[in-house]
C-alpha cells in the first residue's frame, strides 16, 4: 500500500520549481466522555415517549418477584400501598377506580422498589474504600459541568465532557495552529511516524494515544506546502510541553474557528466533529 | 361442439381455459388464513403507532448509538480505507459452459472451495461502514431436555437480563445417548435490536465482563468468516448480571449461553475491529 501512495502523481502545479515541503499534522482529539447534550425538543420527545411507554406497560408481576409472606414482600408493600378500593357504596366524582391485580388501570403504574443500599445514617461509619467497593451502593451521578468548565481552563482535558476536543498549540503565544511537523528533505519517514515522533518531541511523551490509520485523512495545500492530516485519539495521559514557551489548548469545533486562521479553518473544518 | 384437430398454430388460442401464466409451486408453506383482511393489524410493526400492540421505541437517549455515530463510524471508514481498493469477488455458482447441448438446462455448478456461495467484499466507503445489526442470545442446556420445567426458568432468566421475551427452542432430532427427543424443549433464543441491544451491550462490557475473573478477552480468531462474532458465558459468569444478582432466590437455576454479534461487516477482521471499538477486549 505504501508503494502505491508514493507512486501516485500529484496533479497540482506549484508556482516554483522547488519541490513542495511535505508536512504532517496530528489531528489529536479527546472523544466525548459523556452522552450528547440534548436540545429542548429532543428531551421533550424522549420524555413523551417514555411516559407513553410507562402508561402502556403491563402490570408489574409482584407475585413473581416478591413471594407472599416473605420479608421482601413486606418491604415492597410498605413502599407501594394498595390503591383506593373501588367501593360500590361510594361515589367517585373524579372517576371510578379500575382495580386489576392491585393496580389502578386508569393510570400508569408507579413503583418504588426496596433500596439495595443502606440509608445515609447507617453509611456514616462505612469507610470510603468500603463504600466504593460496595456494588449495591447508591449511584450518584457526577455533574456534567466540571471544575475546568467553571474556571474556563482551556488546557484541561476535563472540560466540555460531551464534546470532542482537539489539541492546538502556539509556539509564540499569538498564532495558534494544529501540531504540524515538517519532513526533512534528506530523511524520508512515513507521514504517521513523522506526526507521532514530532508530537512526542514537543511534549506528548506520556500521552497514550490511538492512531486511527496510517493513511492521512486530508491534504491541505498552501504556498509551496503540502500538509497531510493524521487522525488520532488521546486515551490517557496529559500533554505537557517540553518547551515552556509552547502554549496549548484543547478546543471544540466552534472554538477552533476563533483561534485558527480563517481560510485554513474553512479548508479543514469538515474534519472536526460537531459533537 | 368439438373442433376438429387442426395443425395450425391458432388452435391453442381457441381452446378455453388456457393460461399463459406458469403455475407456482410454493416452496414456503403459506397459511392463507393469516392473509385475511382482519389479520392486517397484526402484520404491523409494534413500533407503528397504529398497531394494536404499540410499544414506544425511542424512550431515552441511546449513548451507544451516539458513540457509534459520532466517533466510531468515521474512524472505521478511515481505518479500513485502502488506495485503489477493488471489490473482491466471492465464490458464486458457475455455469457449465455452452460447448455441449446437454449442459444447457443443467443446474449450476457448485462454487469453488467449500461449495458455498460467498458474498463480494466491497471497499469500505461512507455507505457500507460496518455496523452492529443485532445480538443473538442462544441458550441450549441439556438439563432442560431432561427436566422440562427448567425451560420456564431459562426463559424467565433470559427475559430478565435482556428485556425481550425469548422464543422457546425444541429439539429437532432423536439422540438416545443424549436423552434427546424430537419436540422436547431444550432452550431458548432471543434477537436483540436497537436500544435493547445497546443496553445489553453496555451491561455486558461495563458490569459483567470486568467481574469475571477467568475472562481474558475475546479470541482474536473468533468469527464465522462472514463478519459475525460469537462468545459464550458459563453458568458462573451469568450470575454477575445485575438483573439477577439481587434476586438470587428467584433464579436458583442459571444457564450459560452463547452470544452472537451480527454485523454488516463482510470479513471477520472488520467485525472484530467494530466489536473492539464498542468496548470488548480481545486476547493478544
pLDDT in tens, A45-99: 999 999 999 999 989 988 888 889 988 899 999 999 999 999 999 999 999 999 9
pLDDT score of A6: 46
A30 and A44 assigned to the same domain: no
> Residue A265 sits in a domain of what CATH number?
3.90.79.10
CA distance A195 to A27: 9
Tell me which residue range forms the domain holding A124.
Answer: 40-133
The arithmetic mean of pLDDT across residues B167-188, rounded, is: 93
Nearest CA in chain B to A214: B79
CB contact under 8 A, A56 and B55: yes
Q: Which is more confident, A172 or A218?
A: A218
CA distance B188 to B156: 10
The arithmetic mean of pLDDT across residues B198-222, rounded, is: 95
CB contact under 8 A, A45 and B58: yes
A26 and A151 assigned to the same domain: yes
Q: Among A104, A133, A162, which residue terminates a domain?
A: A133
B93 in A contact zone (CB under 8 Å): no
A260 and A235 assigned to the same domain: yes
User: In the predicted model, is pLDDT for residue A5 greater than 50?
Assistant: no
Answer yes or no: is A138 within a domain.
no
CA distance A228 to A234: 19
User: In the predicted model, is pLDDT for residue B221 greater than 50?
Assistant: yes
A90 and A149 assigned to the same domain: no
Instruction: Name the DSSP class of A137.
Output: S
Across chain B, mean pLDDT equals: 90
pLDDT in tens, A182-215: 999 888 999 999 999 999 999 989 999 999 999 9
Answer yes or no: is A92 within a domain.
yes
Q: Give the domain B132-277 fold.
A: 50s Ribosomal Protein L5; Chain: A, (3.30.1440)
A230 and A252 assigned to the same domain: yes
Answer yes or no: is A195 within a domain.
yes
Q: Is the separation of the CB atoms in A87 and A96 below 8 Å?
A: no
Q: Which is more confident, A119 or B95?
A: B95
Answer yes or no: is A274 within a domain.
no
Q: Is the separation of the CB atoms in A24 and A181 below 8 Å?
A: yes
Closest by alpha carbon to B91, among B271, B265, B221, B225?
B225
B61 in A contact zone (CB under 8 Å): yes
A46 and A162 assigned to the same domain: no
Residues 163-202 of chain B with CB under 8 A from chain A are none
CB contact under 8 A, A32 and B82: no
CA distance B126 to A143: 36
A213 and A168 assigned to the same domain: yes
The arithmetic mean of pLDDT across residues A15-44, rounded, is: 91
A250 and A150 assigned to the same domain: yes
Q: Among A133, A165, A193, which residue terminates a domain?
A: A133
The total number of residues shown for chain B amounts to 284
Domain ranges of chain B: 132-277
Total structural domains within chain A: 2
A177 and A207 assigned to the same domain: yes
Answer yes or no: is A139 within a domain.
no
Count other Cβ atoms within 10 Å, centred on residue B124.
20
A163 and A257 assigned to the same domain: yes
Mapped onto helix, strand or coil, the DSSP state of residue B232 is: strand
* CA distances, B188 to each of B24, B218, B257 (Å): 35, 23, 9
Q: Among A133, A155, A175, which residue terminates a domain?
A: A133
Nearest CA in chain B to A211: B79
Amino acid at each position: 500500500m505504501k508503494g502505491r501512495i508514493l507512486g501516485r502523481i500529484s496533479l497540482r502545479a506549484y508556482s516554483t520549481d522547488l519541490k513542495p515541503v511535505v508536512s504532517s499534522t496530528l489531528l489529536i482529539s479527546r472523544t466525548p466522555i459523556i452522552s450528547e447534550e440534548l436540545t429542548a425538543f429532543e428531551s421533550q420527545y424522549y420524555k413523551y415517549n417514555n411516559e407513553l411507554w410507562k402508561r402502556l406497560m403491563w402490570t408489574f408481576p409482584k407475585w413473581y418477584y416478591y413471594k407472599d409472606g416473605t420479608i421482601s414482600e413486606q418491604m415492597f408493600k410498605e413502599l407501594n400501598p394498595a390503591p383506593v378500593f373501588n367501593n360500590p357504596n361510594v361515589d367517585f366524582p373524579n372517576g371510578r377506580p379500575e382495580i386489576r391485580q392491585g393496580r389502578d388501570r386508569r393510570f400508569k403504574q408507579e413503583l418504588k422498589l426496596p433500596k439495595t443500599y443502606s440509608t445515609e445514617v447507617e453509611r456514616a461509619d462505612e469507610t470510603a474504600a468500603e463504600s466504593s467497593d460496595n456494588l449495591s451502593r447508591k449511584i450518584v451521578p457526577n455533574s456534567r459541568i466540571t471544575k475546568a468548565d467553571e474556571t474556563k481552563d482551556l488546557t484541561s482535558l476535563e472540560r466540555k465532557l460531551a464534546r470532542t476536543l482537539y489539541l492546538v498549540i502556539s509556539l509564540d503565544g499569538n498564532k495558534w495552529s494544529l501540531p504540524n511537523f515538517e519532513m526533512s528533505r534528506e530523511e524520508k519517514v512515513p507521514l504517521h511516524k513523522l506526526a507521532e515522533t514530532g508530537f512526542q518531541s514537543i511534549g506528548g511523551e506520556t500521552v497514550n494515544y490511538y492512531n486511527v490509520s496510517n493513511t492521512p485523512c486530508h491534504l491541505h495545500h498552501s504556498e509551496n506546502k503540502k500538509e497531510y492530516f493524521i487522525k488520532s485519539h488521546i486515551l490517557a495521559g496529559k500533554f505537557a510541553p517540553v518547551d515552556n514557551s509552547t502554549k496549548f489548548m484543547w478546543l471544540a469545533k466552534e472554538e477552533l474557528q476563533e483561534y485558527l486562521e480563517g481560510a485554513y479553518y474553512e479548508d479543514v473544518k469538515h474534519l472536526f466533529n460537531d459533537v | 361442439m368439438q373442433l376438429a384437430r387442426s395443425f395450425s398454430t391458432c388452435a391453442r388460442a381457441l381452446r378455453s381455459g388456457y393460461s399463459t401464466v406458469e403455475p407456482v409451486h410454493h416452496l414456503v408453506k403459506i397459511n392463507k388464513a393469516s392473509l385475511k383482511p382482519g389479520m392486517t393489524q397484526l402484520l404491523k410493526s409494534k413500533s407503528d403507532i397504529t398497531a394494536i400492540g404499540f410499544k414506544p421505541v425511542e424512550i431515552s437517549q441511546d449513548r451507544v448509538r451516539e458513540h457509534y455515530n459520532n466517533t466510531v463510524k468515521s474512524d472505521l471508514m478511515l481505518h479500513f480505507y485502502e488506495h485503489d481498493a477493488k471489490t473482491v469477488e466471492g465464490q458464486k455458482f458457475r455455469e457449465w459452459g455452452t460447448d455441449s447441448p446437454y449442459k444447457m438446462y443443467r443446474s449450476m455448478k457448485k462454487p469453488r472451495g467449500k461449495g458455498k456461495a460467498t458474498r463480494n467484499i466491497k471497499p469500505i466507503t461512507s455507505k457500507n461502514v460496518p455496523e452492529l445489526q443485532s445480538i443473538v442470545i442462544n441458550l441450549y442446556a441439556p438439563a432442560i431436555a431432561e427436566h422440562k420445567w427448567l425451560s420456564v426458568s431459562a426463559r424467565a432468566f433470559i427475559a430478565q437480563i435482556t428485556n425481550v421475551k425469548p422464543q422457546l427452542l425444541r429439539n429437532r432430532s432423536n439422540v438416545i445417548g443424549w436423552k434427546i427427543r424430537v419436540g422436547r424443549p431444550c432452550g431458548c433464543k432471543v434477537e436483540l435490536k436497537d436500544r435493547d441491544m445497546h443496553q445489553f451491550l453496555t451491561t455486558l462490557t461495563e458490569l459483567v465482563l470486568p467481574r469475571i475473573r477467568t475472562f481474558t478477552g475475546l479470541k482474536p480468531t473468533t468469527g464465522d468468516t462472514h463478519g459475525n462474532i460469537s462468545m459464550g458465558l458459563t453458568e458462573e459468569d451469568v450470575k454477575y448480571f445485575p438483573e439477577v444478582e439481587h434476586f438470587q432466590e428467584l433464579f436458583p437455576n442459571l444457564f450459560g449461553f452463547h452470544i452472537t454479534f451480527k454485523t454488516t461487516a463482510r470479513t471477520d477482521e472488520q467485525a472484530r475491529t467494530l466489536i473492539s471499538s464498542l468496548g470488548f477486549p480481545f486476547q493478544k
